[in-house]
Chain A
Amino acid sequence: SYDLTQPPSVSVSPGQTASLACSGDKLGDRYVSWYQQKPGQSPVLVIYEDTKRPSGIPERFSGSNSGNTATLTISGTQTLDEADYYCQAWDTTTVVFGGGTKVTVL
């Protein structure tokens, strides 16, 4: 089976840049999506097809994917960006989620 690995937590100061990694074998050959989930809420799509932002998602969210690692970057991080973030990819016909990264803004 295919696995996606994310660090459990990342801390960032307000206004700084947070980089969230998602690693998997030859992940760069697949599209990666990223979802933000705040406590008690449903996940929200923030990046799809590696680099694209849905309408309504702030420009400070960006994505990249190459080699074995996809990265979600939050530039100028705000306190409201504090949440869990999950990467997701497809393994042929099945879906894989990473274990999630908790972003703390302090």
Chain B
Amino acid sequence: QVTLKESGPALVTPTQTLTLTCTLSGFSLRTTGMRVTWIRQPPGKALEWLGIIDWDGDAVYGASLKTRVTISKDTSENQVLLRVTNVDPGDTATYFCARVRPGRDYFDIWGQGKLVTVSS
């Protein structure tokens, strides 16, 4: 069964760095063609794409947070990491990771999401 699960702190202080982990199960990011993406959703608002990483470790980021976001992978742990630097209350959101259907361009499996609040 293919699953993804986000984990990390529920509360982050402004100006700090937010780090979230997406743990993959039932598939491996070592597989050629595999990609995982991060998406966030502020409370009551729309989905916002953050970025994507592929099996080769190449990452592409969305324009809105491009200078503050880094996506990386830990192949040995089958995990994908999201880092957002210098957070502020506007970064309060539910953060989702999702699998890109191998060889295609749609997100077929999503994690449950992780609500992160930025507050002092």
Contacts and interface: CB of A to CB of B under 8 A. Distances in A.
Interface of A: 1, 31, 33, 35, 37, 42-45, 48-49, 54, 86, 88, 90, 93-100
A55 to B, nearest CB: 10
Contacts of B52: 95
B106 A95 contact: no
B2 interface: no
B49 interface: yes
A1 B107 contact: no
Given A42-B112, A93-B60, A94-B62, A33 B46 contact: no
Interface in B82-120: 96, 101, 104-108, 110-113
Contacts, number: 55
Decide if the interface of chain A is mainly helix, strand, loop or mixed: strand
Contact of A97 (B46, B61, B112, B113): B46
A42 B47 contact: no
B112 A94 contact: no
